[in-house]
Structure 1
């Protein structure tokens, strides 16, 4: 099914896309894909009402709340797509209003925790003033009693979502019982050289014209990377992403065949 609305989440917020679709009484499915193409989400609308959402292993409002916070990746709306599942009963106006407030709160958290690789540790201090810690707050605080851990590490250790961990850490930092430390450095990966991108661009120009360079850069940015930092282990996903921007099936196949040879020579 063709998509009539596509783009990059680096330039538009999910909540604004949903407000637009809801105001137009749209039926269809909003597809969301993270920059590494390993996490996807779907939000279904019927007559402009949000009726179902799925993200990872979560459904309904839980999945919806995760998806409206995504700020990188790609989106596409498929009009007419339907589902028999109805996991969201809440009025859409209320849902969007709550999600707007949630997004604003998340911006504060993201300002304090810009990366899920930043380590956190106990300060050894008592909670400030009137701040009262709850059950999950104490569990996270206890997990930091003998180690410095990042959001990602705590998520794996506690079997909780990263966004929930980040929200708790924000509370703990505000309470003065936890502080941030160094950022966990990712393993340095082998990157693609600029010559590769020039080759991709030249081939794409032959197929779709001068807009090729814009498409290449948009897809790269959708992965949260740049030409100078793009890792070789993401090249296959990059090619797939660029290929999806070619709407002529014959040209799409031609591009894929050409790129298959280029990947083999990397």
Structure 2
């Protein structure tokens, strides 16, 4: 069994200002690198198969990559696509910025939303980007089971892997990029500068959480096993696999929809 070390951003007592700074960094990098571009055709097909035209994003953080994904799906036959962002620790300032950029096609739920027990009034094909590893196996199974019970499709996507160069990047290239790019993150926050340069808590916590995230990632076999346990009556059709970027990075995915 792989160790399940803690991540700072999961801790209830962790200061919101530091969590927001870390989420802003992830949002910038995921969007700039277009991490989830390779899975756009897969997600478009899942929407068609499930009869959905709306996404419900769980564990959305600051919404990294969501606007890029929304624009890409609009060209894949979903011009009226709407996305609702949710999180156990909502980021309303970052989400409001996304709403403005997309003419409110990307909205959000202001109250905290537990991905294991999603309120039934929150509808749409459920998606999780770069966050499924936060859930231990039993919780991950419950998350999938909740989607099956609700009769909605679900897509799990992780834009990283457990390869040596990804660990090396988490300790070297990415922290350097964070130090160089922080002044350009939007929306601007003075606190982000303070806790990046004067007291470098944000970059240090980001290095720790990034390393632990890589250790926690589920393999394709583990994802499929979780899905089968969550869907023991075989109500859903499931797909699992990886899609590769032109520059080498891989996106692992688990997608399911009602048969």
Q: TM-score, normalised by structure 1?
A: 0.27
Which protein has the larger Cα radius of gyration, Structure 1 or Structure 2?
1
Q: TM-score, normalised by structure 2?
A: 0.27
Structure with bigger RCO (C-alpha 8 Å, 6+ apart): 2
